[in-house]
Structure 1
Amino acid sequence: MNILDDLKLQYRLGGIAMRVMYWNIACFIVSLIFFYNYSNGFFNFPSWIALSSDPQVFMFKPWTFLTYAFFHDGFLHLLFNMMVLNFASSLFLTYFTQKQYLGLYLLSALFAGVAFALSFYLSNIGGSIVGASAAIMAILVATTTYSPLMNVRLFLFGNVKLWHITAVIIILDLMQFRLGNMGGHISHLAGAFFGFVYIKLLQNGTDLSTIVSKTLDFFANLFKKSPTTPFTKVHKNYRKPTEKTTSRIVTKDKTQQQIDEILDKISQSGYDCLTKEEKEFLFKAGK
């Protein structure tokens, strides 16, 4: 089993959080190939990817309110965001579903993008942003709002309350507000605010993530072929099942049982705990 097959298997079994991280990494690789200026060492993102504060740009490219949240301006930018995303995702998915996760990620990115564009336009400032920080802040603050007293074990610090970690990150954003990257900090705080509001509405019975779920389901069903029922002849067969049929059913049950055991092992100890044979078996079974 090669590295590519291993990555494919992790993508299929890792859940939505793993897939979102893969999407961010893939977009960064694309940006390195097409948008990085190696002569001056800077990224030059086109206006159809980065979110611009100019209404004459974003009004004709409304998709940039989402695309900006999957691209990063440098390796360290990507690395730090993916570390925080991995941390926040594992906590969020302890309490909520994968559909809620994806819905919150996309909606918070959209809300933060609108907040950035509106604030810059009203301040008569021009600029553009990229980065997943706003959506990540929404996921982190949402989890903190739901369970602020959760104990999180940090290296060198021991057990720390989740709200302490979130408070430090927000305070750092506020302290750097006027120092530089004002647009980024505006989107971070907007994402944090959206995460807080999302949980409060959810606790009152309103799940905003269903907007995303229903939209994705609509487009999925739109392109899905309607199943046809072909005409079939019905033959009566009063013979007892042969031994061969019974054998196939038993084999299928054993295979499914082995798959279930491996999936249970992944949920308890993670994908990396699997042996090479178990990974190869799971990859072949998933084809």
Structure 2
Amino acid sequence: MQDRNLSEELKFQFKHGGMHIKLIFVNVLVFALIMLLALIGRTTDQEVLFNTILDKGFTLQTNLRDLAFAPYGLITSIFSHFSVLHFLFNMIFLYFAGNMFRQFFSDRRLLHVYIVGGIAGGIAEVIARQFMGQYPAVLGASGSIMALFIAIAVYRPNIQLNLLGIIPLKLYVFALIYLGSELIQMTQIDGIAHFAHLGGALIGFLSVQNIHSSSNIINWTESLQQRVLGFFSGRKRKGPKLKAQKGGRVAKTDEEYNMEAKAKQQKIDKILDKISKSGYESLTKAEKDFLFSQSNK
């Protein structure tokens, strides 16, 4: 194992650690900025000003009038935390949920589920607050993380966890207990955005429904992202997807592309079932190489 100093290790993890690690880095940087602004506010005569900047810049306003002037809160809030415990708990949860997610899906899909789940959670909280008549500011990555967690719990419900290191529990049972507690507590005034958690959970569930279809919510957002990027780069795609072949590029129809994607996912599912029954070491070298190559796409 190569010895690296702290700076080198952080650079290595950011470059090679996967999308969940990159998201943790972003959350760390935002948290550090929030703590710096709060410190400046406390040590100067401008505490009210800096508190306003923190509130309006990093939180989601649930009052519709305030939200209209700060819609960016739907994004900034899913990377923001104001307390150390809230931040640490969410980052630990993100690490483990993200690590499980990457065993089955790509980094790009993880990013989309995180962002879409967080936005949907924020919208759910805003809607609920209109009926409750209470308009607290909302922040935190919990809705995004819940989307990742529920996606895995629905896609591979029989993964076994050891609760507290000693209690064996199927992943779907853990998910049901967690969702049940959210439903029970969602009408309580406890400072927790339960509706945001449930909104994120809904996206997690939808993200693994009809997973090979263009109507799948995450497939749709990925396609939308490509169209938007193509528009701004001036290279908007107009033809069918292409595949490289010897002697030039040959057009691949959408039907061929979807069939290949479905066949590839079926192969992944077969390998994962083999792991669940006989363990990782039962895989052949070719199966290990294939699984590794897909997890890095």
Q: TM-score, normalised by structure 2?
A: 0.68
Q: What is the DSSP-based 3-state SS (H/G/I as helix, E as strand, rest coil) of the residue aligned with 2:30?
A: helix
Q: What is the DSSP-based 3-state SS (H/G/I as helix, E as strand, rest coil) of the residue aligned with 1:159?
A: strand
Give the structure 2 partner of residue 26 of structure 1.
Answer: 29
- Cα deviation, 1:94-115, whole Å, max 9, x if unaligned, reads 1111111111111111111111
Asked which structure has the greater CA Rg, the reply is 1
Give the structure 1 partner of residue 85 of structure 2.
Answer: 76
Q: What is the DSSP-based 3-state SS (H/G/I as helix, E as strand, rest coil) of the residue aligned with 2:169?
A: strand
Give the structure 2 partner of residue 91 of structure 1.
Answer: 100
Q: What is the DSSP-based 3-state SS (H/G/I as helix, E as strand, rest coil) of the residue aligned with 2:103?
A: helix
Q: Distance in 1 between matches of 2:197 and 2:13?
A: 29
CA contact (8 A) 1:103 1:208 kept: no
Q: Distance in 1 between matches of 2:65 and 2:214?
A: 38
Greater mean alpha carbon deviation, residues 187-196 or residues 30-39? 30-39
TM-superposed CA distance for 1:56, in Å, is 1.9
2:20 to 10, 17, 24: 17
Q: What is the DSSP-based 3-state SS (H/G/I as helix, E as strand, rest coil) of the residue aligned with 2:162?
A: strand
Give the structure 1 partner of residue 137 of structure 2.
Answer: 128
Partner AA of 1:51 in structure 2: L
CA contact (8 A) 1:103 1:211 kept: no
- Cα deviation, 1:5-34, whole Å, max 9, x if unaligned, reads 221111010111110111111111110001
CA contact (8 A) 1:84 1:136 kept: yes
Residues 1:113 and 2:116 aligned together: no
Q: Distance in 1 between matches of 2:15 and 2:87?
A: 22
Residues 1:149 and 2:158 aligned together: yes
Q: Distance in 1 between matches of 2:18 and 2:135?
A: 38
Q: What is the DSSP-based 3-state SS (H/G/I as helix, E as strand, rest coil) of the residue aligned with 1:27?
A: helix
State the structure with bigger RCO (CA 8 A, min sep 6), 1 or 2. Answer: 1
Partner AA of 2:8 in structure 1: D
CA RMSD of aligned residues (A): 2.9
TM-superposed CA distance for 1:183, in Å, is 5.8
Q: What is the DSSP-based 3-state SS (H/G/I as helix, E as strand, rest coil) of the residue aligned with 1:104?
A: helix
Give the structure 1 partner of residue 222 of structure 2.
Answer: 213
CA contact (8 A) 1:28 1:71 kept: yes
CA contact (8 A) 1:115 1:187 kept: yes
Q: Cα distance 1:114–1:25, how it changes in 2: closer, same or farther (>3 A)?
A: same
- Cα deviation, 1:233-274, whole Å, max 9, x if unaligned, reads xxxxxxxxxxxxxxxxxxxxxxxxxxxxxxx9xx7xxxxxxx
Partner AA of 1:125 in structure 2: Q
> How many residue pairs are counted as aligned between the two chains?
228
CA contact (8 A) 2:213 2:219 kept: no
Q: Cα distance 1:118–1:33, how it changes in 2: closer, same or farther (>3 A)?
A: same
1:47 to 27, 47, 56: 56
Q: TM-score, normalised by structure 1?
A: 0.70
Q: What is the DSSP-based 3-state SS (H/G/I as helix, E as strand, rest coil) of the residue aligned with 1:46?
A: helix
CA contact (8 A) 1:120 1:183 kept: no
Q: What is the DSSP-based 3-state SS (H/G/I as helix, E as strand, rest coil) of the residue aligned with 2:75?
A: helix
Give the structure 1 partner of residue 6 of structure 2.
Answer: 3
Residues 1:35 and 2:44 aligned together: no
2:149 to 134, 137, 140: 140
Give the structure 2 partner of residue 229 of structure 1.
Answer: none
Q: Which runs of 5+ in 2 are unaligned?
A: 236-288, 293-297
- Cα deviation, 1:109-144, whole Å, max 9, x if unaligned, reads 111111111221233222110000011111111111
Give the structure 2 partner of residue 179 of structure 1.
Answer: 188
Q: Distance in 2 between matches of 1:204 and 1:212?
A: 12
Partner AA of 2:147 in structure 1: A
Q: Distance in 2 between matches of 1:156 and 1:146?
A: 23
Q: What is the DSSP-based 3-state SS (H/G/I as helix, E as strand, rest coil) of the residue aligned with 1:59?
A: helix
TM-superposed CA distance for 1:198, in Å, is 2.0
